[in-house]
Amino acid sequence: MSGSGRGGATSSGFGARLLALTRKEFRQLLRDRSSLAIGILLPALLILLFGYGISLDVNNARVAVVMEDASPTVVDVLYGLQLSRYFTPVTVRSMHEADSLMAAHEVDAILRIPSDFTSALSAGRGRLQLILHGADAATARVIEGYVSGALAQWSLGNNDREAGRGGVAALAAAAPYGRVVLEPRMWFNAANTSTWYLVPGLIVLIMTLTGAFLTSLVVAREWERGTLEALFVTPVRPTEILLAKLIPYFVVGMMGFAMCLLAARFLFSVPFIGSLWLLVASSVLYMLVSLGVGLLISSSTKNQFIASQMALLISFLPAMMLSGFLFDLNNVPPVVRWIGLALPATHYLDLVKTLMLAGNVWPIVFKDGAILVAYAVVLLAAARLVTRKRIA
């Protein structure tokens, strides 16, 4: 009976101490305006910036058109470019003028129609010259694809018109793209917009920023102010200290997650195909991973400036550059890809994109979820081992 009583008293003491410490941490967080700005205001700004201000799509590309052949056929070819939202054609009189515009980067490409285009097209050898500004290789490839698609569409329509008139010979001459009809369908991004690609990645960045960066300061701040030594002479335990510091930032991080989710659905119309509960569970796991990284850094360095720099270098920047947020990891050297695959942010990003855009793909859910569980256990245990109740 006495053992049971002592166990109950110990359990009750743990709960009371944890509640008191957590209240203290919440009050301290509310008084710290810089932390609130990073945890609440910065995520809102990032949502608006990435959702409205940053786009990987190419619209209204400036194309200088050099018409050395002004026949009705050429006008018909260029009609598709003029109606497309992807292009802003700029008609110039000579290649010299077009070169000047390209050198000043006032146009992104030059489309040259040679003087013998119409006659060459009738003979089945019609050729156009497309010169692309290569400073941004990704944009250049997109513009090349758009122009090729527009010309292929014109060729298909021209083939249909010739076939309707029974002009077999003319059809053969005017069909450099053949009679193959391409009907594209884009899975997991039916709107063909980079917003659907960026917003899920933004969830990863915001939770990394809140979990790792802000939490990396909390224990280091206590060491600098000398208040942690005062806590060590009380009955509180290191586990209770870490839990009390973890809970407020866990709440702030999940608030940022909720803001991103609402913005994705109602501001940017990103679809949500998979299970909401699976996404919340995976986000809780990743939040624990980020908090573990922050607590481990904070307990190890005992200096706020060093802790903040380490948090940026170890968590936030790798999450942005190497997780697959900005570019596909399959397109990078193997060493860089292995580093990216070692990051918990990579697996969380894979989960978020899969659940939001593809649905409950269970092999991916189980694999990435298990990796996040392992990271959370290891990092939180390491943070507990580093934080010892002693002055050192």
- pTM score, whole prediction: 0.73
Residues 199 and 310 reside in one and the same domain: yes
The answer to whether residues 259 and 302 belong to one domain is: yes
- The answer to whether residues 326 and 209 belong to one domain is yes
- Domain co-membership, 149 together with 292: no
Helix (H) or strand (E) holding 280: helix 276-301
One domain, residues 334 and 233: yes
Q: Are residues 50 and 67 in the same domain?
A: no
**4 in any annotated domain:** no
Domain that holds residue 287: 22-54+194-386
Q: How many domains does the chain have?
A: 2
Instruction: Find residue 44's DSSP bridge partners.
Output: none
Q: Are residues 281 and 365 in the same domain?
A: yes
283 lies in a domain? yes
pLDDT tens profile 200-251: 888 898 889 888 888 888 777 777 776 766 666 667 777 887 888 889 889 9
Domain holding 160: CATH number?
Answer: 3.40.1710.10
Say what the pLDDT of residue 170 is: 44
Residues 6 or more apart whose CB falls under 8 angstroms from that of 309 comprise none
**70 close to 92: Cβ distance less than 8 angstroms:** no
Q: β-strands 109-113, 87-92: how paired? A: unpaired
134 falls within a domain: yes
Across the 392 residues of the chain, what is the mean pLDDT of every consecutive 10-residue run? 49 76 83 76 79 68 86 77 76 87 85 85 79 74 79 66 48 42 55 73 88 82 71 73 86 89 86 91 95 87 85 88 81 87 94 89 93 95 75 44
Asked if 130 and 84 sit in the same domain, the reply is: yes
Spatial CB neighbours of 211, under 8 Å, sequence gap ≥ 6:
249, 250, 253, 286, 287, 289, 290, 291, 293, 294
Check residue 231 and give its pLDDT: 67
> Residue 297: CB partners within 8 Å, gap ≥ 6?
212, 216, 307, 310, 311, 314
* φ, ψ of residue 179 in degrees (nearest 5): -105, 15
For 321, the enclosing helix (H) or strand (E) is helix 317-321
- Residue 8 belongs to some domain of the structure: no
Residue 185 located in a structural domain:
no
365 and 234: one domain?
A: yes
Residues 67 and 169 in one domain: yes
Decide if 125 is inside a domain.
Answer: yes
For residues 332 and 313, state if they share a domain: yes
Tell whether 180 is covered by a domain.
Answer: no
Query: Does one domain contain both 234 and 133?
Result: no
